[in-house]
Structure 1
Amino acid sequence: MRCWLPSITMRKTLLTVVLLLAVKALFAQQDSTGPYVFTLDECIQYASAHQNDVVNARLSRQSSRERIREMRGRLLPHVSVTGNFTDNLKLQTSLIPDFVNDPTQKIPVQFGTKFSSSLTGEATQTLFNSDYFLGLRAAKVYDELSVRDLQRTAIDTRVQVSVAYFDVLVAIESIRIVDANLAQFGKTLKDTKARYTEGVAERIDVDRIQASFNSVENERANLERTRNYAYDVLKYSMGMPLSAQLEIEENVQNFTGGPLPDSLNYSVADRPEYAMQRVQVELNRLNLKSKKLEFLPTLNAFVNYGYNWFGGEFSELYKTGFGASALGLRLSWPIFAGTERIYQAKQYAITLQQSQNDLDYLNQQIQLQVRDAWTQYRNNYASYITQQKNIELTQGVYDRVVLKYEQGVSTSLDVISADNNLKQAQNEYITALINALVSKVKLDQAMGKIKTE
């Protein structure tokens, strides 16, 4: 018996396929875990494709498209086939006059056969139905509503990712500042220990500066953990696996410059919430119109064709069939159905008025939100500029105190006091920085300046 073995060419082909699959799997694994080095825009693009809320909103958009196709499908012809089989266990008995003997007398007779069967196919076409046409229009309005919902979700995600991104930036900036403090304080500690060895400084000076240095080191470790958690929050906001490796490419200087935004040049209609409320008003208007048009008739055309079979025995049932066909129109007209429809229409009219009132109120609400966001941003930005100047001033004071300490003019207490003032100024600077960055995003969101594309 001869054993089949693949040829050399085939084995090379199989090896190539295996290698390609292995490389593809390797890249797929790399794509899911990184490493990634992203800018803010790249983080937002990743979130738009992977974030759960955006993905679901996009699926809702697809569902609304299928709803439109569903409503269009109702206007197409409908074809149905019905069939039945009957075994008359006992035929029904009727009484008829006895025309042969005495017509005044009734005799019992049975009509029909023991077995009967029929098969009928029918096609119907809607000629007029107000609900169908209004339903198609309502489906298109629902589609617009899904578009606006997708825009709102994308904007909310963009804001969420931006805030998380800024938290990472600020955490990195905080670590940079603390590292500078460690370098400065480490040099002071080293010099103090050297002076203590030479008998110029006292042991208490070394202990004081060492204690402050230890506190800064502990703060550095805390900031590293805070930065790592900020990265996790950013990855979660983007829809990225928490196990993925992510680094950001920008720094705070990329976002703190530029002119102040214009809080007057905006349109309320740019807000997706306002557009969604307008769509809701249109839906309520269509509901009212549909209720008012319920009194109109429904007209359908139909055509059918079928076969009927009869037999006294089951074996004879399908030997001979009798065809039947019909063509016609069906009209249904609800002329009077009580006063229920009248009061339902009044309820829909009230709902329509309420939605219009909500639209007007939303207009005022958005304007107030813009003014509040503008005020918060101006305050936070002014505080950021002030704290930026203060940190430069306190840094200068710290440097001069350290210089005097090295010259023996000031004490270690002066150095520690200057360091505490510097750290306080740095903390206030970091707080003002994150508030300014976040409030700028909130202002853009309030004015509808954040676009999804």
Structure 2
Amino acid sequence: MHCRYILFTLLLWTQTTIAYGQVDTSRSGNYDFNLANCIQYGLAHQNDVVNARLDVNFSQEQIKEYTGKFLPHVNVNGSLTDNLKLQTSLIPDIANGNYDKKIPVQFGTKWASAATGQVDQVIFNSDYFLGLKASRVYGDLSKKTLKRTEIDTRVAITKAYYAALAAEENIRLAKSNMTQLSKTLSDTKARYDVGVAERVDVDRIQVSYNNVVTDIETQIRDLVYAMQLLKFQMGMPQDNKLTLTETVQDLNADVFIADTVDYQVQDRIEYSIQTTQIALDELSLKSKKLGILPQLNAYVNYGFNYFSTKFGDLYKTGYGASALGLTLKWPIFAGTERYHQIQENRITLEKSRNTLRYIGDQIQLDVANANTQYQNNKARYVTQKTNMDLTQGIYDRIVLKFEQGVATSLDVTSAENDLKQAQVNYVQALLNTLTSKTDLDKAMGKIK
């Protein structure tokens, strides 16, 4: 048993140093973080947040793309033609006055080339104007989507952080129990050596001590996994060392879990996102309705034409040509296609409005459910905290009576088991309360 205690102490020291001991933050990849630091790191590195931020940049480029459609567009076209065999046409024999007779003639030259530059400018196009407005609304939607992703990331990191603190608290309480049991075991062995205690007393306390040692070994592994999960939620590489600078005591949970049920459905980002979706659907409907309007564009061009029977002489003489004009496209009637497209967009818009009402009802239900879970967990937390304090007092008195010879080892082990269970219940109730409070804050839209 002495050897096992030495090995356990070494394991405890090693795992504690790796998982949550003091580390040298001057080296790259070592971080001493509290909850705010973890969230800040996650908002900068977590994969979903990074991609959502890129989506915002993408939407900004789309806005610039639509803006560019209103700027002049310049194109240059060129051509080079080798007429291997000129086309033959039949025309009246005008030279000889014989109009009824057709004679074959060939027009053109073997070599021909042309170069033209043209500037096009949109004067009116309803699709362009609505597209620009829609792109801006889409940009707003991407920003709101980023905000929702950030909120989800904050919640995930917060829950993982609390789980890690709870795992640390489990280890702290278990180590406290181990210290108490170690002293009781040592005293009982001494009393047994002088014939005051029974062997059964030593064995019973030894069994309790062994169970505590195994529990701590298990809890250390749980803590290692909790830290791995926290780093994953933060977007931190697993080979980095993360040290938490807070404990459960630093949270001041009694103040932290105060009631704050005060919200509006508009505070939830999901409600705002759906409102933006309705704006996009309204623009889509408007675009279909304005599809009857004409499209007007202006253009100006200038170019040169070149002709020659020999390639070497082709570009010796150029013949300039230029034009300035307007083009009008007016879709007067396109069957019933546009009418049904308008109806489809109206239906889509109505569905979006129905979804907004549904989201409002769902938010109210989410808050009611989250508040119920929070109130239940908070009540359990208060009870379990009181029970743990009472059980600790009972255990201390039983140990004292055992040392005085008025209590049995069975009483000690029974009290120790009750204390251990009370501690487990307390930590679980604390974790459930903090987690459900986070869910309630999210449901009320208080996490920004």
> What's the TM-score once normalised by structure 2's chain length?
0.92
Q: Is the 8 A contact 1:263 1:447 kept in 2?
A: no
Q: Which residue of 2 aligns with 1:19?
A: none
Q: Which residue of 2 aligns with 1:188?
A: 184
CA shift, 1:375, in A, is 1.1
Query: Residues 94-129 of structure 1, C-alpha deviation per residue, up to 9 Å, x if partnerless?
Result: 111112322211100000001100000000000000
What SS does the aligned partner of 2:334 have?
coil
Q: Is the 8 A contact 1:33 1:243 kept in 2?
A: no
Distance 1:204 1:262, change over 3 A: closer
Q: Which residue of 1 aligns with 2:393?
A: 396
Q: Which residue of 1 aligns with 2:173?
A: 177
Does 2:306 match 1:309? yes
Does 2:318 match 1:295? no
Q: Is the 8 A contact 2:25 2:31 kept in 1?
A: no
Does 2:104 match 1:108? yes
Query: Residues 374-416 of structure 1, C-alpha deviation per residue, up to 9 Å, x if partnerless?
Result: 1111111111111000001111111111111111112111111
Q: Which residue of 1 aligns with 2:3?
A: none
Q: Which residue of 1 aligns with 2:344?
A: 347
CA shift, 1:245, in A, is 1.2
Does 2:75 match 1:54? no
CA shift, 1:320, in A, is 0.5
Q: Is the 8 A contact 1:33 1:245 kept in 2?
A: no
Does 2:36 match 1:69? no
1:73 partner amino acid: G
Structure 2 runs not aligned, ≥5 long = 1-23
Q: Is the 8 A contact 1:126 1:299 kept in 2?
A: yes
Distance in 2, matches of 1:157 and 1:346, equals 39
CA shift, 1:270, in A, is 1.4
Distance in 1, matches of 2:162 and 2:33, equals 13
What SS does the aligned partner of 2:100 have?
coil
Q: Is the 8 A contact 2:73 2:120 kept in 1?
A: yes
CA shift, 1:31, in A, is 7.6
Q: Is the 8 A contact 1:32 1:241 kept in 2?
A: no
Q: Which residue of 2 aligns with 1:123?
A: 119
Q: Is the 8 A contact 1:134 1:286 kept in 2?
A: yes
Query: Residues 426-448 of structure 1, C-alpha deviation per residue, up to 9 Å, x if partnerless?
Result: 11111101001101111111111
Distance in 1, matches of 2:66 and 2:166, equals 52
Query: Residues 6-48 of structure 1, C-alpha deviation per residue, up to 9 Å, x if partnerless?
Result: xxxxxxxxxxxxxxxxxxxxxxx97884321111111111111
Does 2:403 match 1:406? yes
Runs of at least 4 residues off by over 6 Å: 29-32
Query: Residues 241-269 of structure 1, C-alpha deviation per residue, up to 9 Å, x if partnerless?
Result: 11111111111123303265555421211
What SS does the aligned partner of 1:266 have?
coil
Question: 428-437 or 400-409: which moved more?
Answer: 400-409
- Fraction of identical pairs, as percent: 57
What SS does the aligned partner of 2:327 have?
strand
Q: Which residue of 2 aligns with 1:332?
A: 329
2:74 partner amino acid: V
Does 2:380 match 1:383? yes
Question: 411-420 or 111-120: which moved more?
Answer: 411-420
Matches within 5 A, 1:35-434: 35-101=30-96, 102-255=98-251, 256-258=253-255, 261-434=258-431
Distance in 1, matches of 2:167 and 2:424, equals 11
Q: Is the 8 A contact 2:257 2:437 kept in 1?
A: no
Distance in 1, matches of 2:410 and 2:161, equals 39
Query: Residues 190-237 of structure 1, C-alpha deviation per residue, up to 9 Å, x if partnerless?
Result: 011111111111212211111110110011111111111111111111
2:388 partner amino acid: I
Q: How many residues align?
A: 423
1:375 partner amino acid: T
Q: Is the 8 A contact 2:25 2:32 kept in 1?
A: no
Q: Is the 8 A contact 1:308 1:321 kept in 2?
A: yes
Distance in 2, matches of 1:280 and 1:139, equals 12
Question: 399-408 or 166-175: which moved more?
Answer: 399-408
Distance in 2, matches of 1:277 and 1:66, equals 23
Distance in 2, matches of 1:424 and 1:45, equals 36
> What's the TM-score once normalised by structure 1's chain length?
0.91
Q: Is the 8 A contact 2:90 2:103 kept in 1?
A: yes
Distance in 1, matches of 2:71 and 2:374, equals 57
Q: Which residue of 2 aligns with 1:16?
A: none
Q: Is the 8 A contact 1:32 1:244 kept in 2?
A: no
Distance in 1, matches of 2:138 and 2:256, equals 40
Query: Residues 127-157 of structure 1, C-alpha deviation per residue, up to 9 Å, x if partnerless?
Result: 0000000000000100110110010000100
